[in-house]
Amino acid sequence: MLQAARPTLYLLVSGLTAWVYLSSKGPFGAALVRTQWLGLLATGLLYLALLPGPLYAVLPRAPGKTLFLHLRRALGVSSAVLAVLHGYDGLFGWVGGLEGLDVWSWDYQLSLLLGALASGILLVLAATSTDATVRALGTRWKRLHRWVYAAGVLIYAHMAIITIHVVSLRPWLVGSFVLLGGLLLLEALRLHQRAAASTQPRWAWGLWPAFVLACGLAYWSHFLISHHRH
């Protein structure tokens, strides 16, 4: 079953990508619809790639552990590919190419830069996710792939800054806020466990103010930024 899991995931992602390109249409143009769906799929796959670590650290007996952990690599690679397609369609299909950047505001340009940096990180991680690279890098491979958290932060900032052209946006904001809060809680619990088991367990409780701050920033960026209220 595990041998077929990754090819099956790649096939599923390829089918979803083909569906996006074949069915894209909307009042603002097909390029924008493609950009949004590709970005959503890339973000969702990255979320799933980040989830198993904290989930099974906190709940080691949760079902699906072997399969979910096995799929992390394929989820990350798929996310990187879709992120690049998202960026290409966004820049050359919706924005109007590099020369079209001149008509967009500085904050929109910043969001595109953050998204490009995140895509670059994901591409590096995808390129170094082979078994041969893991063996060659040894313990350095894990340190390198911790950059996925930096990519996640950059993607979140990219999404928070950019204007989203969706009429019924609030359900998406509520859903993403709940999912993000759940991931942050699992990460906080995992780090709390590690800190409590270390030689300086008093630092374990210092994580919770950071968790509350992160949730506060997430709430602000989801529901209080003006261009996210429609």
Position 180 pLDDT exceeds 60: yes
Could you tell me how many helices (H) and strands (E) the chain has, helices first?
10, 0
Mean confidence (pLDDT) of the chain: 89
Q: Is the four-CA dihedral 126, 131, 136, 140 of positive or negative sign? A: positive
Query: Are the C-beta atoms of residues 218 and 153 closer than 8 Å to each other?
Result: no
- Identify the CA nearest to 109 among candidates 164, 158, 155, 154: 158
Query: Are the C-beta atoms of residues 126 and 94 closer than 8 Å to each other?
Result: no
d(CA 39, CA 111): 13
d(CA 188, CA 18): 37
**What does the domain layout of the chain look like in residue ranges?**
2-165, 166-230
Q: What is the pLDDT of residue 27?
A: 61
Residues in the chain, total: 230
Residue 54's contacts (CB-CB under 8 Å, 6 or more residues apart) are 183, 186, 187, 189, 190
Q: What is the pLDDT of residue 228?
A: 59
d(CA 30, CA 23): 9
Q: Give me 164's structure tokens.
A: 């989203």
158-170 tens-digit pLDDT = 988 886 666 577 8
Position 98 pLDDT exceeds 90: no
Query: Which of residues 33 and 49 earns the better pLDDT score?
Result: 49
The number of beta carbons lying within 10 Å of the beta carbon of residue 227 is 13
Q: Give me 216's structure tokens.
A: 């506060």
Quote the distance between the C-alpha of residue 6 and its chain's center: 19
Q: What is the pLDDT of residue 230?
A: 43
Position 4 pLDDT exceeds 90: yes
Position 197 pLDDT exceeds 50: yes
Q: What is the pLDDT of residue 167?
A: 59
Q: Confidence class of residue 229 from pLDDT cuts 50, 70 and 90?
A: low
